Structure 1
């Protein structure tokens, strides 16, 4: 019996593509390497074809599989990010002579070299940490766009020919509706957070939040860094039972002694037993976590995300943060410094927004993205009542060209208002007000 949900023979043609060999399979899709017909065109010469068998099933199966395909097409069509596998086009097989293939939906995807699952035994400790940092960046990009992956695991982390990592397989990805999304609930048990192990499956699926991906990232990080899963048990069902006991306080989380010190707090925060604790310790999305993961991967001392943005008024930093664990950025001037006035209050490698023109009034600063200024990485409370009137990009932290800052009128990186180049400082109109921002490659 074929391990592939849809077996496609070598040499089979779909549009301009010819199937070469199988690459892998999931619960519903079969993935094959393919080559494009010779000749000019915008499509690459090689791609991965993901076949979803929608044409020969029962009406209920057909409808569900079509929904999966449409969800993946929608997500990948909107997100063209370096940390997410790109989709080039979607095709439908028209082949009545082969009823097992007739009507199948085919997603034409960027071809990866292999998955993290197959490559992991060969990766060095440095490469493993680097891959985890890039996976977390991918989750941050996904969450920033308003989606939850829902099935993060080694088989869905794809390594490109240059060794970089990207997230793939968005069949269970779900778009957020407010604070929740609805998943078809086909996630892998070992990577499912405890609160979803007994959650009800409603008409639209299971209600999930981005913190479900953070739990999965904690499991993934523990596996990648120690070659072992964080919960005990020789089978998925035994580990699921251990997760339930842990969530109910009947069992403690025992991280492997092989887990590097720089990663222990990160993994422990991601594996908080409840959504509420996870959101408090790791963040409501992957964006605040991503900065900590990058620091751990680079060997820098870990730093918890700041609970509030840096606020300043009258030229003196108002850091009333005793006991809150807020730390100064490396180049930040101390409160009361004579140089700390106007735009100069903005620390190096940060983007700062001010309540008054020319860097005056109160200030909120970030060293990363924030898709929600009022319930995200940092709390910029004054911006809810008084729109920012100036901005300063004091040097972006991201490699690969992410040195500009785009800002938006709505939470969730929607309704783009403008963009500032590195080193640029400018005044902003009073309306509409800025409510979120992200580092970008181009303006």
Structure 2
């Protein structure tokens, strides 16, 4: 369950864990009586703490909570991605003097400014909603590309960073694919649950789930963000769930809002196809391209910053007992951050299995993309005209596994993959200007524009 900025209660029924979170200053060593897990790397000075408290739970329930936490930690440590919230560490508290905290699992997370749920409460149909949806879809694509299903996509689990960008959070329900299915815990948020899962059989391993379930959730989310309403009739969650079941069985129709733009109507309709088989035809790779076009994300403008809020910063070292008060009241708080966060605005525009070059840092500005070699950027079938007068300032190699083993991209200042100028004297670089490995992105020096590139096995 994801913490939400400014909320004073935990959302009930979404998971088996009641969660509390607070901002904390991370010290040089963990508090006495804690066990440190392995996370995604050293945390920043300020991070968010997410508590999975003990309460009156049985040892079996506590063991299940810890398993969920470590599964989330394992997933996030493997996916260092700009659209997925990072987890830095997991602690287990050993403090018998404070039974309300003793045994709790504490997750140390990248800190967000708020959530989409809080944003929609303040501003239904936000003007930058389409841009946020493009980033949510990008996060889903990254997760699916890694072989995982989120399993609980909803506004509360879309976290908003200080720069206004969106990242997916709360991977307690996430599951790794095993062939055509994954097995997720038998918990879900009904309003965003694919209809086939509302009556599915629960086995010892959980509920069978497929990526198409996330596509359904995205369709519901998109309709809510763009119109402020749900696409199925009903004034309560239970009524809408019943309508979803009737719709899947062919006895109920979608009731898409007339305010939904035509291009989004097509996207939402495809996402909310009645069956898994129909939805599976629209995977997140193709869906992302359509969403980006609908959102007008070709220039990927800077999103508005969220409003500042008061900061609460207890020190992590020696303060876990004090934080028990937060757990007991299940208060959910995310504080702001002093430092500027790394910004990623436009890399999501890059098509799958392509390499993209941009005229501005962080994937913004003009973009040229290729899925094959190009010996001359300024002539031939595919050209990149803006590089005639502008340097390249960032790159994204968005390739997946190639059947020929070619996943890296080498680029050259000369045509026909030839070294020019300083490239000729470069050591151990095969005289190329630069090379970017598979699924890597970043800023370049910004002083030149390559004239050719080719796919190679590795950098």
Task: After TM superposition, give the deviation of residue 351 of structure 1 in Å.
Answer: 3.2
Task: After TM superposition, give the deviation of residue 250 of structure 1 in Å.
Answer: 0.7
The answer to whether residue 19 in structure 2 is matched with residue 30 in structure 1 is: yes
What's the counterpart of residue 91 of structure 1? Answer: 91
SS in 1 for 2:222: helix
The answer to whether residue 154 in structure 2 is matched with residue 153 in structure 1 is: yes
The answer to whether residue 293 in structure 2 is matched with residue 295 in structure 1 is: yes
What's the counterpart of residue 212 of structure 2? Answer: 211
Aligned residues of 1:84 and 1:138 also touching (Cα < 8 A): yes
User: How many residue pairs are counted as aligned between the two chains?
Assistant: 331
SS in 2 for 1:420: strand
Aligned residues of 1:393 and 1:423 also touching (Cα < 8 A): no
Q: Give the Cα separation in 2 of the matches to 1:42 and 1:74.
A: 15
Q: Which moved more, 1:291-300 or 1:198-207?
A: 291-300
What's the counterpart of residue 107 of structure 2? Answer: 107
What's the counterpart of residue 401 of structure 2? Answer: 408
Q: Give the Cα separation in 2 of the matches to 1:292 and 1:423.
A: 32
Q: Give the Cα separation in 2 of the matches to 1:160 and 1:211.
A: 27
Q: Give the Cα separation in 2 of the matches to 1:135 and 1:47.
A: 22
Task: After TM superposition, give the deviation of residue 423 of structure 1 in Å.
Answer: 7.4
Q: Give the Cα separation in 1 of the matches to 2:292 and 2:76.
A: 25
What's the counterpart of residue 46 of structure 2? Answer: 46
- Out of 339, 344, 351, the residue aligned to residue 370 of structure 2 is 351
Give 1 or 2: higher strand fraction.
1
Label 1:221 to 1:421 Cα distance change in 2 as closer, same or farther (>3 A). farther
Aligned residues of 1:56 and 1:62 also touching (Cα < 8 A): no
What's the counterpart of residue 239 of structure 1? Answer: 240
Aligned residues of 1:184 and 1:205 also touching (Cα < 8 A): yes
Task: After TM superposition, give the deviation of residue 403 of structure 1 in Å.
Answer: 2.5
Q: Give the Cα separation in 2 of the matches to 1:410 and 1:208.
A: 28
Q: What's the TM-score once normalised by structure 2's chain length?
A: 0.64
Aligned residues of 1:231 and 1:239 also touching (Cα < 8 A): yes
SS in 2 for 1:408: coil
Q: Give the Cα separation in 2 of the matches to 1:230 and 1:60.
A: 39
Q: Give the Cα separation in 2 of the matches to 1:351 and 1:78.
A: 27
Label 1:299 to 1:46 Cα distance change in 2 as closer, same or farther (>3 A). closer
Task: After TM superposition, give the deviation of residue 103 of structure 1 in Å.
Answer: 1.4
Aligned residues of 2:26 and 2:44 also touching (Cα < 8 A): no
Aligned residues of 1:83 and 1:167 also touching (Cα < 8 A): yes
The answer to whether residue 277 in structure 2 is matched with residue 276 in structure 1 is: yes
Label 1:67 to 1:258 Cα distance change in 2 as closer, same or farther (>3 A). same
Deviation string for 1:376-432 (max 9, x for gaps)?
xxxxxxxxxxxxxxxx9999xxx9945224443689xxxx86411567988xxxxxx
Q: Gaps spanning 5+ residues in structure 2: where? A: 30-40, 299-350, 352-366, 377-381, 387-391, 418-437, 444-458
Task: After TM superposition, give the deviation of residue 52 of structure 1 in Å.
Answer: 1.6
Aligned residues of 2:152 and 2:192 also touching (Cα < 8 A): yes
What's the counterpart of residue 186 of structure 2? Answer: 185
Q: Give the Cα separation in 2 of the matches to 1:148 and 1:236.
A: 23
Q: Give the Cα separation in 1 of the matches to 2:59 and 2:406.
A: 45
Deviation string for 1:94-119 (max 9, x for gaps)?
11111121111111001111111111
Q: Where does 1:388-407 land on structure 2 (aligned, <5 Å)?
A: 401-407=394-400
Aligned residues of 1:30 and 1:52 also touching (Cα < 8 A): yes
Deviation string for 1:209-246 (max 9, x for gaps)?
01100000000000000000110001111111111111
Q: What's the TM-score once normalised by structure 1's chain length?
A: 0.66
Q: Give the Cα separation in 2 of the matches to 1:55 and 1:124.
A: 38
Label 1:226 to 1:423 Cα distance change in 2 as closer, same or farther (>3 A). farther
Label 1:216 to 1:124 Cα distance change in 2 as closer, same or farther (>3 A). closer
Q: Where does 1:3-402 land on structure 2 (aligned, <5 Å)?
A: 27=15, 28-36=17-25, 42-53=42-53, 57-120=57-120, 121-122=122-123, 125-280=126-281, 282-283=282-283, 286-298=284-296, 349-353=368-372, 401-402=394-395
Q: Gaps spanning 5+ residues in structure 1: where? A: 7-19, 301-328, 330-347, 360-364, 366-391, 427-436
Task: After TM superposition, give the deviation of residue 65 of structure 1 in Å.
Answer: 1.3
Task: After TM superposition, give the deviation of residue 60 of structure 1 in Å.
Answer: 2.5
Aligned residues of 1:31 and 1:50 also touching (Cα < 8 A): yes
Task: After TM superposition, give the deviation of residue 183 of structure 1 in Å.
Answer: 0.6
Backbone CA RMSD of aligned residues:
3.9
Label 1:37 to 1:59 Cα distance change in 2 as closer, same or farther (>3 A). closer
Question: Which of structures 1 and 2 has the larger relative contact order (alpha carbons within 8 angstroms, sep 6+)?
Answer: 2
